[in-house]
Amino acid sequence: MSIRYHLPPEWAPQSGVMLTWPRSDGDWSPDYASVERCHTQLAKEISLREHVVIACMDALHADKIRRLVKNAGGRVERLRLFALPSNDAWARDHGPITVLEDGRPTLLDFIFNGWGNKYPHGFDDEITRKLHGLGAFGAVPLESFQLVLEGGSIEVDGTGTLLTTESCLLNPNRNPHLQRKQIESELRRLFGVDRILWLKHGAIDGDDTDGHIDTLARLCDPHTIAYQTCDDKNDPHFAELKAMENELRGLRRQDNQAYTLVPLPWPAAVYDHTGRRLPATYANFLIINGAVLVPTYNDAADAAAVAALKPVFPGRDILPIMCRPLIYQYGSLHCVTMQLPAGVIPEINLT
């Protein structure tokens, strides 16, 4: 099957980032002010460097978001707000995955089924198509596919490698009619990759995505992987994350050399009111033009996580974003964002 597309890596030039602003009347309502502060900080930092496409509740909500971002010091003229119904805020998984075809962007729209029908998802599954219909992505074409796939489940290096997890992509709650070889064939065809690296280990308590790669191990360039570690032998995650680390040590680059591995520190355990452990992970960072936005959790390890990523991304600012409120809904910074490569939104200054 011929390769149609090329999926650029996250560190490639971007025209914008998509957010779906949390609803005040949904799951976020118990601590909505804190969650909104997190999103405001995200929108501010992104808007200083590129556009922000935001799905929001209605016109009044859009006006409030503009005021919040303006007061925070953001570039309001770079906000593009669209009123749409939504179930939740996880734009990484219901937003478009943008590929290049002969250098021109095309938006790919996949089925979003609430991470295996765990949660209501009907509105979120329609957001990409509705945003496209409203002109949020200019004249960029959109193609929809009958494949369940979330953006948080894949990492690419732009040179032919895709990194993912067996626990998510091979889970029967996604595409039960497809076998591993068929899924690999689709990944190669749709994203222009020629090899797929599968991880078997890395489960984190509180993660309801069945093991998204963006909570575990991240390609930072074609030679480097930053990954979540656990150095506490008494922590239930120790053995599983050590097994993942050993898997990563065994992976090889396209040139058959070992990857440069960058361990990220382990934050202290955080629990919700029911006693459920929450998935705090520093691997859930976002690369944007000129910066890397790093989730922090008001934890002693925050500074070490930021310091670990500084040498990995020379020339980019490493900016901490307080994301503790996000993990109470079982995700973090990367999960609520979806980058839009250069060419998707016109009239953007990439310098």
How do residues 296-307 score in pLDDT, each as one tens digit? 999 999 999 999
Domains plus CATH for the chain? 14-341 (3.75.10.10)
What pLDDT is stored for residue 1 in this prediction?
Answer: 45
Token pair, residue 161, equals 């490698």
Catalytic residues: 335
- Give start and end residues of each alpha helix (H) in 23-88: 32-47, 59-71
Average pLDDT rounded to a whole number, residues 144-155: 98
pLDDT averaged over every residue in the chain: 96
Question: Does pLDDT of 183 surpass 60?
Answer: yes
pLDDT in tens, 119-147: 999 999 999 999 999 999 999 999 999 99
- Percent of the chain at pLDDT > 90 equals 94
CA 332, CA 209: separation in Å to the nearest integer?
Answer: 12
pLDDT at 347 exceeding the cut of 90: no
Average pLDDT over residues 32-53: 98
Quick one: pLDDT band at residue 108, thresholds 50, 70, 90? very high
Residue 348 pLDDT greater than 80, yes or no: no
DSSP labels, 97-156: EEEEETTEEEEEEEE--HHHHTS--HHHHHHHHHHHHTTTTTT--EEEEEEE--GGG-EE
Strands 51-56 vs 14-20: parallel, antiparallel or unpaired: parallel
**pLDDT tier at 3 (50, 70, 90 boundaries)?**
low
Confidence of residue 106 (pLDDT cuts 50, 70, 90): very high
pLDDT of residue 114: 98
pLDDT greater than 50 at residue 351: no
Q: pLDDT at position 2, please?
A: 54
CA–CA distance, 117 with 173 (Å, rounded to integer): 7
Closest to 80 (Cα-Cα) out of 110, 50, 103, 105: 50
pLDDT at 307: 98
Q: Would you state the pLDDT for residue 138?
A: 94
**pLDDT interval class at 350 (50, 70, 90):** very low
User: What does the pLDDT average to over 1-8?
Assistant: 76
